[in-house]
Amino acid sequence: MSVRERRRVAVCATSELPVGARRLITVDGRPIACFNVQGDYYAIGARCPHRGAGLIDGTVCGTMLESDPHEYRYGRDQQLLRCPWHGWQFELRSGRSITDARTGVPSYPVEVVDGEIQILLDV
């Protein structure tokens, strides 16, 4: 089993990305949207695969869950990002689309090292 090589890319200091904040960075020409949601940091590809909208402008939200007729259950609060153009939803943790299971956006592991937010990119 091989070990993946990863490169660390600094995003900013934790003090520069408070709860509820977001930041767009570009690494090697690739736009990445970084979020602080309730103290957890996420980094995902910044373009919606549907029509290319900037996900940095999307809404962090939840979604309706399966339920019985005439029952409405909301869940997964603060776990999803909704595209600002057409409403496609993506899991912040994985980048997986819950709108179209065939697609998604890249997601990147995030670590905090000595007060600095860093994303890990495969080499």
pLDDT digits (tens, 9 = 90+) for 74-99: 666 778 999 999 999 999 999 999 88
pLDDT band at 119 (very low <50, low <70, confident <90, very high): very high
**27 pLDDT above the threshold of 70:** yes
pLDDT digits (tens, 9 = 90+) for 34-71: 999 999 999 999 999 988 899 999 999 987 777 888 88
- Can you give the pLDDT at residue 94? 96
Q: Return the half-sphere exposure (C-beta side, CA atoms, 13 A cut-off) of residue 53.
A: 17
Residues in the chain: 123
CATH topology of domain 6-122: Rieske Iron-sulfur Protein (2.102.10)
CA distance linking residue 76 with residue 31, whole number of Å: 26
Domain-by-domain residue ranges, the chain? 6-122
